[in-house]
Structure 1
Amino acid sequence: MPSTVIISQPPPAMEAQNTQDWASGICDCWDDVPECCFAFWCCPCFACKTSKKYGECLCLPLLDLFGGCVPAITMSLRVSMRQRYGIRGSMCNDCLCSTFCTGCVWCQMSREMKRRNIPIVLIRASQT
């Protein structure tokens, strides 16, 4: 008599946080010194790496080089990350930070992704 095995995996969960704030401040470079140095010496390369890790196009941040005075890509990825992780904030704050602290914004987003990244292991089970 054949038996059927049904395996269901719970949905992926993010790390629980007590607050809805960023895990680190905009100028918390001491939390990850190597990444902040990388961002300082080659911000476009660091932004591309971070964008790819976030799931966006690798070269997307390079479009900021052709824009106006507000880096639209940096700002939109920051807004997207705030919404994805449920972080409080405003578009005005995102605009100011992205315009005047671009490298620090990319470092903060990278630290946030590291903190919230929980590897999800998918297991395919079948019975023959």
Structure 2
Amino acid sequence: MYPPNIPPTAPPHSHHHPPPPQPQYAAGIPAHYGVPPACNAKWSSSLCACCSDVPNCCLTCWCPCITFGQIAEIVDKGNTSCGVHGVLYGLIQVLTGCGCIYSCNYRTKMRSQYGLRESPCNDCLVHFFCEPLALCQEYRELKNHGFDISIGWQGNIERQNYGVQMPPMAPGMYR
């Protein structure tokens, strides 16, 4: 046995191996998406870095249900559309004033998917006291992970599968 406070050393015949390479991102969908990493990574931007994406900041301040819907669709891997998430968030916000109860769950899901720290405090507290800031930070985080939030989950999957950036469709082109 080893004496207390002295860590055991590796046997002389063992070889030290470097850590495995980090996963690469393929056209917007992380290679490890869905595999929960260790929860110690920092967010790619701070909670108060809203001015780094002014258009999203303005949209989130005036209509947070749109930003939340976009985030939730990506975090949910397209299981529910942006519109459904946005409407549910809007209804909860209008009827109770507590849309943060719904949105904080998606922050927790996103943190789990990317191994992000619960920072600066508990997810529910971040959303309760700083809802617009939290939504903007989550939006930026998904963008920084390679997602084009404006094309939704399916658009990102198509972009990954075909290696083509999908141009945004102009209104009236759906005929």
Give the residue type in structure 2 aligned to 1:105: A
Normalised by the size of structure 2, how large is the TM-score?
0.52
Q: CA distance change for structure 1 residues 52 and 86 in 2, over 3 Å: closer, same or farther?
A: same
Which structure 2 residues correspond to residues 1-128 of structure 1 after superposition, within 5 A?
13=31, 20-54=41-75, 55=78, 56-58=80-82, 59-60=84-85, 61-65=89-93, 66-67=95-96, 69=98, 71-89=100-118, 93-117=122-146, 121-122=160-161
Identity across aligned pairs (percent)? 33
Secondary structure in structure 1 of the residue aligned to 2:122:
helix
Cα shift readout 1:53-72 (whole Å, capped 9, x = no counterpart): 43344222335324574722
Q: CA distance change for structure 1 residues 20 and 30 in 2, over 3 Å: closer, same or farther?
A: same
Q: CA distance change for structure 1 residues 121 and 49 in 2, over 3 Å: closer, same or farther?
A: closer
Cα shift readout 1:60-113 (whole Å, capped 9, x = no counterpart): 2335324574722111000000000000117x6211111011111111110000
Q: Confirm or deny: 8 A CA contact 2:90 2:99 kept in the other structure.
A: no
Normalised by the size of structure 1, how large is the TM-score?
0.69
1-structure distance, mates of 2:110, 2:72 = 11
CA positional deviation for 1:43 = 1.5
1-structure distance, mates of 2:160, 2:118 = 32
CA RMSD in angstroms, aligned pairs only: 3.0
Please say which structure displays the higher CA radius of gyration.
2
Give the residue type in structure 2 aligned to 1:25: S
- Higher RCO structure, 1 or 2 (CA under 8 Å, sep 6+): 1
